[in-house]
Amino acid sequence: MAGSSVKAFGWAARDPSGVLSPFDFSRRPTRDHDVQFKVLYCGICHSDLHAIKNEWGFSTYPVVPGHEIVGVVTEVGSKVQKFQVGDKVGVGCLVDSCRKCDQCTNNLENYCPQTVLTYNTILPDGTVTYGGYSDIMVVDEDFAIRWPENLPLDKGAPLLCAGITTYSPLRYYGLDKPGLHIGVVGLGGLGHVAVKFAKAFGTKVTVISTSVGKKKEALEGLGADTFLVSRDPAEMKAAAGSLDGIIDTVSAQHPIEPLLSLLKPHGKMIMVGAPEKPLELPVFSLIMTRKMVAGSMIGGLKETQEMIDFAAKHNILPDVEMISMDYVNTAMERLAKADVKYRFVIDIGKTLKKEEKEATSSCEMAGSVKAFGWAAKDPSGVLSPLDFSRRPTGDRDVQIKVLYCGICHGDLHAVKNDFGFSTYPVLPGHEITGVVTEVGSKVQKFRAGDKVGVGTIVDSCRKCDQCANNLENYCPKAVLTYGSVLPDGTSTYGGYSDIIVVDEDFVIRWPESLPMDKGAPLLCAGTTNYSPLRYYGLDKPGLHIGVAGLGGLGHVAVKFIKAFGSKVTVISTSVGKKKEALEILGADAFVVSREPAEMQAAAGTLDGIIDTVAAHHPIAPLLSLLKPHGKLISVGAVAKPLELPVFSLIMGRKMVGGSMVGGLKETQEMIDFAAKHNILPDVEMISMDYVNTAMERLEKADVKYRFVIDVGKTLKQSE
């Protein structure tokens, strides 16, 4: 990444006409302390309108506006401490400051003389900052806001300007005390948010507007206590001297003397709207009753985070109208006429498309999406970087930024073609977790920013009996996440890659309480154990269940069985695993399968066995451990057939069954169960460039108990 810029795309104004159109540009590469994130939503502020039209006289074109930006982190620098890939974040009006002056040391970066605005600021190297009407942002972590989980990204975006612009003066000027009477002038993008914050502080609120038509909305919609029509002399006179403070949000030219008359002695009128020309200041009115007129410009980063957390706690959200990127010029025209209730928010994630750039590029963009990962090219199984393509996001597709991918023993078989049906290149990985970055127009289950998982299956016929019964895993036309051939002749590629595109029906919603890194292997190891335990009735409290093998599958089986309330005996060839099984995993007993005395003592004690061993092994000794009517369920994929002692089955009415992961409904049920019971595999996190060593170790069973690749942080195209 070092030294090279990052391609970006957005909409920009090229001249004072203010008309915005598609624009290719570059972001800086992600530095040590930087956060790169996928922009999902961006609010339109009235100052954006001023900037694109150069109404303040200092715009530098092209102008890519937008400073109410929210999205999901896709990359972090090596020294970043506050964020990780997958976090929801926001960026407001500032992206840098000197970090040294009195303002900065007092958490007032917004008043730093060297403040760098999110867009239209010239940097020391001569480049210009670009805002959030774009696909990605790169910002220093100190200027990113952590987004609360319970605060919607879309509706919440305008808080990053409108919210802090009204919250900060209410706090700084002491207008946040319960029982005060606060006036709000103007009921637009800023004003309606000011009402909500003032009410949350416990104050009485009077809305002051030139339009009587806004009265019902102010009182009934926003909960203001009273409403004044500023053009009505009788109403203004009746309200004279009644207010402790006023937040004036109006950016148009307007007289302030009538507003000052509404203040009590010592009252404060705070200007947050930015008129183009100076207003007339009636100094006499200030002197005679010790009133003040002051200004306030957003807030520092610490206060902005405080405001966002306060908004989440008190459910304060702007009233917004969601629009597409190609509607932005119409939105600007409407904003100039105050024709919006009350804030436009652009759905960047869904509607900013590169094909909007030029008709000449549509053919190029209509095809595949560039992707990058690691793949095996031949049966040596050695993996190396691979550039390839994903399909574009279809109507019902979800595009996912891959953050983590577990390494399954099946991956090892596949890269070496142990099963005889691998088609190279093989890009493995079916224990995939990540964050949604784009959804198709007809997707209903997910939205950009959601945490999700993808397991072993990415499609099926949707018509057969298996599919109709939520058993897509047994559909004869099931499409595996990697190594399957699609109807168009192309191959599927797995999660050792930067992105994946999957039909929404084959995506798992990830619980907030379940870590995405440690939890990733559940998408194979979890459902591989959970499904047979449920299907074969081995999930009942009080049963005695054996687990053969204590590897990636086996240790997860122990955890699920214990969560079901069963007694667990681990069966292993290695006595060295006894302490781990009993003391760490909580198994009730341990049997060394190579010890005849131990096996004989345990004969006929088990109701069922989950056999997770993938190596060739005898099953007659395991069958001897079962009670009559007991069930031995194989979930390890042994390359060659095992010897079946039929006589043992007949004499005790025992059975040997198999099970292959679970359907999508059951997999979601399993993930939710794991979150509820805090079931997590024991994992070793690795980087992408360690994957070949990991495969060698996996072949030797030298891992406790599952490798997980940190794809989001360590998969770099420079490799």
Q: Are residues 326 and 377 in the same domain?
A: no
Tokens of 56: 């303040």
628 in the same domain as 481: no
| Reported confidence tier of residue 640, pLDDT bands at 50, 70, 90 | confident
Domain end residue (candidates: 288, 316, 351): 351
Residues 401 and 463 placed together within one structural domain of the fold:
yes
For residue 480, give every residue at least 6 positions away whose Cβ sits within 8 Å of its Cβ, in sequence order, or none: 430, 456, 457, 458, 492
Burial of residue 148 (number of CB atoms within 10 Å: 0-12, 13-18, 19+): middle
Q: How confident is the model at residue 464 (pLDDT cuts 50, 70, 90)?
A: very high
Instruction: Answer yes or no: is pLDDT of 201 > 70.
Output: yes
Are 146 and 182 in the same domain? no
In degrees to the nearest 10, what's the CA dihedral of 81, 86, 92, 98?
A: 20
Q: Would you give the distance in Å from CA 706 to the centre of its chain?
A: 24
0.85 cut: is pTM over it? no
pLDDT score recorded for residue 650: 83
Note whether 718 and 414 are within 8 A (CB): no
In a domain, 401, yes or no: yes
Give the gyration radius of the chain's Cα atoms.
31
Question: What is the maximal distance between C-alpha atoms in the chain?
Answer: 108
Q: Are both 180 and 290 inside the same structural domain?
A: yes
Q: Say if residue 544 is in the same domain as residue 602.
A: yes
Q: What is the pLDDT of residue 22?
A: 95
Residue 3: per-residue pLDDT: 54
What's the CA dihedral at 651, 653, 654, 659 to 10 degrees? Answer: 140
Q: Residue 594 above 50 pLDDT? A: yes
CB distance 204 to 227 below 8 Å: no
- Residue-wise pLDDT tens digits, 250-279: 988 899 999 999 999 899 999 998 787 888
- Strand, helix or coil for residue 506: helix
Checking if the pLDDT of 669 tops 90, the result is: yes
pLDDT given for residue 359 in this prediction: 32
pLDDT cut 70: percent of the chain above it:
96
pLDDT computed for residue 124 by the predictor: 65
Q: Which pLDDT score, from 0 to 100, does residue 248 have?
A: 95
Q: What is the mean pLDDT of the chain?
A: 92
State the total domains in the chain: 4
Structural tokens at position 130: 């670009």
Nearest to 428 by CA among 417, 439, 442: 417
Mean pLDDT of 697-712: 93
**Distance from C-alpha of 401 to C-alpha of 499, rounded to nearest angstrom:** 5
- To 10 degrees, the CA torsion angle through 391, 394, 396, 399? 50
For the purposes of burial, counting CB atoms within 10 Å of the CB of 37, is it exposed (0-12), middle (13-18) or buried (19 or more)? buried
The pLDDT confidence band at residue 418, using thresholds 50, 70 and 90, is: confident
* DSSP string of 57-73, one letter each residue: S---SSB-----EEEEE
Q: Which of 335, 175, 162 is nearest to 249 (CA)?
A: 162
Mean pLDDT in residue range 593-606 = 96
Q: Which is more confident, 644 or 351?
A: 351
- Per-residue pLDDT tens digits for 59-91: 989 999 999 999 999 999 999 999 998 899 999
Among 307, 257, 302, residue whose Cα is nearest residue 282: 257
**Would you put residue 241 in left (φ > 0), alpha (ψ -120 to 50) or beta?**
left
pLDDT at 573 over 80: yes
Lookup: tokens for 628: 């009559």
273: exposed, middle or buried (C-beta count within 10 Å: 0-12, 13-18, 19+)?
Answer: buried
561: CATH: 3.40.50.720
Whether residue 669 lies inside any domain: the answer is no
Q: Is residue 356 part of a domain?
A: no
Q: What is the C-alpha to C-alpha distance for residues 409 and 524, in angstroms, rounded to an integer?
A: 10
Under the banding of pLDDT at 50, 70 and 90, the label for residue 125 is: low
Q: Answer yes or no: is pLDDT of 569 > 50.
A: yes
Sign of the C-alpha dihedral, residues 430, 432, 436, 437?
Answer: negative
126 has pLDDT over 80: no
Domain boundary among 325, 351, 377: 351
Q: Indicate whether 412 and 452 sit together in one domain.
A: yes
The answer to whether the peptide bond before residue 327 is cis (omega within 30 degrees of 0) is no
- Average pLDDT estimate for 559-586: 96
Grouping H, G, I as helix, E, B as strand and the rest as coil, residue 705 is: coil
**HSE-CB for 370 with a 13 A CA cutoff:** 4
121 versus 124: the higher-pLDDT residue is 121
Quick check: is 628 in a domain?
Answer: yes
Q: Are residues 293 and 306 in the same domain?
A: no
Quote the pLDDT of residue 490. 67
Is the predicted pLDDT of residue 351 greater than 90, yes or no?
yes
CATH (domain of 398): 3.90.180.10
pLDDT at 208 over 60: yes
Cis preceding linkage at 342, omega within 30 = yes
Indicate whether 288 and 309 sit together in one domain: no
Please report whether residue 497 resides in a domain: yes
Q: Where are the beta strands (DSSP E) in 235-319?
A: 243-248, 263-271, 292-295
Percent of the chain surpassing pLDDT 90: 80
The DSSP letter of residue 217 is I
- 673 located within any domain: no
Query: Are 13 and 156 contained in the same domain?
Result: yes
Cβ neighbours of residue 245 closer than 8 Å, sequence gap 6 or more? 173, 175, 180, 182, 183, 263, 267, 268, 269, 270
Which pLDDT does position 185 carry in this prediction?
A: 97
Answer whether residue 530 shows pLDDT above 50.
yes
180 with 79, same domain? no
Query: Residues with Cβ < 8 Å from 357, sequence gap 6 or more?
Result: 9, 22, 24
In 3-state terms, what secondary structure has residue 202?
coil
Q: Side-chain half-sphere of 404: how many Cα atoms within 13 Å?
A: 25
- Pairwise CA distance, residues 136 & 121, whole Å: 18
State how far the Cα of 123 lies from the Cα of 111, in Å rounded to an integer. Answer: 17
How many C-beta neighbours within 10 Å does residue 386 have? 18
**Whether residue 155 sits in one domain with residue 167:** no
363 — pLDDT class (breaks 50, 70, 90): very low
Confidence of residue 107 (pLDDT cuts 50, 70, 90): very high
Is-contact 167 197, C-beta < 8 A?
A: yes
Query: How far is it, in rounded angstroms, from Cα 476 to Cα 478?
Result: 6
What residue spans of 115-267 are helical by DSSP H? 153-156, 162-172, 191-200, 215-216, 233-238, 257-260
pLDDT at 364: 34
pLDDT at 123 exceeding the cut of 90? no
Question: Would 671 be classed as within a structural domain?
Answer: no
User: Could you tell me the residue range of the domain that residue 400 belongs to?
Assistant: 367-519+679-714
Query: Which residues, 6+ apart, have CB-to-CB distance to 687 below 8 Å?
Result: 709, 710, 713, 714
Predicted pLDDT of residue 643: 85
Is 665 within a domain?
A: no
